[in-house]
Chain A
Amino acid sequence: MKLGRVIGTVVATTRVEGLEGVKFLLVQPLDKTRKPSGQAIVAADGVAMAGPGDLVYYVSSREAALALPNTFVPVDDTIVGLVDSVELTTP
């Protein structure tokens, strides 16, 4: 699981069966100090509460689908939590 920042939303009306009602968000992956690292990804919202500006963590690969109501759907990344705080011992 990795940290990310929600930087936008993605609207897609036509989608594969099973993904109805799932919200897609644009997420910028972050390093542990919350600096952007790599390309933005489109992630499904598994907590149904994330929105632009939120610091989140997401899970990738097969486990991404398990966080959604229908657990056999084609997604790469899903947000599984909103971050309240990150405490680093070694910055």
Chain B
Amino acid sequence: MKLGRVSGTVVSTICADAYAKRKLLICDLMDPSGTATGDYLIAIDQVGAGPGDDVLILDEGNSARQILESPDAPVRAVVVGIVDRIHLD
């Protein structure tokens, strides 16, 4: 899984069935210290995350399909958690 920060939303009416009525978030990927790496992902929201939230992003299709309970969804990235804090030793 990857760490990210929600920085926006994508609205899409014409989409594959698996994406219909789901919220799409633009997530900036970040390193453990919270610094943006410059890359981003569009991910389906499963936890009610919003702009500014630090989130846990799943970027692997098989797990994404399990979470969406759809064995043939063409989806890779799903927001699966909101990060409260990261402790670095």
A residues near B (Cβ < 8 Å) are 1-3, 31-32, 46-47, 49, 57, 59-67, 71, 78, 80-90
Q: Which of these, A65, A81, A87, contacts B9 with CB under 8 Å? A: A87
Q: Which of B9-29 contact A (CB under 8 A)?
A: 9-16, 18-19, 24, 26, 28
B residues near A (Cβ < 8 Å) are 6-16, 18-19, 24, 26, 28, 40-43, 51-52, 61, 64, 72-77
Bound complex: CA A87 to CA B61 (Å) = 25
Which A residues touch B76, using CB under 8 A?
1, 59-61, 63
Q: Which residue of A lies closest to B44 (CB)?
A: A1
A83 touches B73 (CB 8 A): no
Q: Which of these, A31, A67, A83, A90, contacts B10 with CB under 8 Å? A: A83
B16 touches A87 (CB 8 A): no
- Given A1-B42, A2-B41, A2-B42 in contact, is the A46-B9 Cβ separation under 8 Å? no
Q: Which residue of B lies closest to A57 (CB)?
A: B42
Which B residues touch A88, using CB under 8 A?
7-8, 26
